Amino acid sequence: MAAKSIISRPVYGTLSLQPGKHHLFIADAEGALAIADLAAKAPADFFGGAHVIFIPGRDGKYADVLEALKPAQFYLGHSFASALPRLKQTLANAHMGLRLYLAGTEGLIGQAMHAALEAGIDHTSIQTEHRGSLARRMQCVHCKGITENVTTQPATCSHCGLLLLVRDHYSRRLAAFQGVCINAEDRSEIPPIEEVFR
């Protein structure tokens, strides 16, 4: 579970069934298990009207768990980027009554939420549940490049190479945490690098 800190740091809940006409699930890796937990409480025919977009983790697990729910539409993506056109298309054609459920890593939840906000869904009406890795999607505030799957504190920007303090300051607009140079005064000062976002 993500710890609560400053106000911009997102907090996640537990997926719960919402009244609606259509149900769209987006999950990665262990997020599949949050959907399975929800399914255990759902009426038998619930997934017959659901659309599931799933991006398995490196171990390729849990796709079978979701397929077993027999959703009306099931899409297996290789990465969030490869699933994004499908997600955007789905949202563009959707009507009020569509409910959105996001489960898995913060990077997945943040990026899917970003697409949903662009489509006019208020972030407060989206169901979210964090499962699996705490790895962060980070924006370097200096070069603006985004580094995925950051697990260390501090972390190196994959674009400009600065050593960045990964803050809890989060941008919904960018779907990323802010990374700020940790040794701007003296670059030779290298604080210990610890793996904290596992």
Partner 1 sequence: MSTGTTKLDVVVSDVVPVNELVTRFHFRRRDGQLLPTFSGGAHVVVEMRDGERTRLNPYSLMGSPLDTREYTISVRRDNAGRGGSLFMHRQVRPGTEMVVSYPVNLFSLDLRARKHLMLAGGIGITPFMAQTAQLAADGGNFELHYTCRTASLGTYADLLRERYDRRVRLYHDDRDERVDLDRLLSSQPLGTHLYVCGPSGMIGWVRERAAALGWPAETVHFEHFAAPQPGAPFDVTLALSGKKIRVDEQQSLLEAIEAAGVDPPYLCRGGVCGQCETNVISHDGKFIHNDHWLSEEDHRSGCKIMPCVSRFEGRSLVLER
Contact assessment for residue 80 and residue 107, using Cβ atoms and an 8 Å cutoff: yes
If the CB atoms of residues 69 and 94 are measured against partner 1, the closer one turns out to be: 94
User: Given candidates 78, 124, 186, 192, which one binds partner 1 under the rule CB under 8 A?
Assistant: 124
- Among 154, 157, 185, 186, smallest CA distance to 167 is for 154
The stretch among 118-126, 141-149, 152-160, 186-194 that binds partner 1 (CB under 8 A) is 118-126
Decide whether 25 or 197 has the Cβ nearer to partner 1: 25
Nearer to partner 1, 121 or 182 (CB): 121
Question: Among residue numbers 55 through 114, which ones bind partner 1 (CB under 8 A)?
Answer: 91, 94-99
- Please give the torsion angle defined by the CA atoms of residues 180, 173, 14 and 167, in that order, rounded to the nearest 10 degrees: 10
**18 lies in the site for partner 1, by CB under 8 A:** yes
Contact residue for partner 1 among 4, 8, 11, 20 (CB under 8 A): 20
Helix (H) or strand (E) holding 166, with range, is strand 163-171
- The answer to whether 16 contacts partner 1 (rule: CB under 8 A) is no
- Of the pair 97, 161, the CB lying nearest partner 1 is at 97
Could you tell me if 24 and 99 are in contact, meaning their C-beta atoms sit under 8 angstroms apart? yes
When asked if residue 42 is in the footprint of partner 1 (CB under 8 A), the reply is no
Cβ of 159: how many Cβ atoms within 10 Å? 14
Number of residues that bind partner 1 (CB under 8 A): 18
Q: 162-189: string of b/e by CB count within 10 Å (b at 16+)?
A: bbbebbbbbeeebbbbbbebbeeeeeee
Please report how close the Cβ of residue 198 comes to partner 1 at its closest, in angstroms. 34
d(CA 57, CA 111): 16
Q: Which residues make up the interface to partner 1 (CB under 8 A)?
A: 18-22, 91, 94-99, 119-122, 124-125
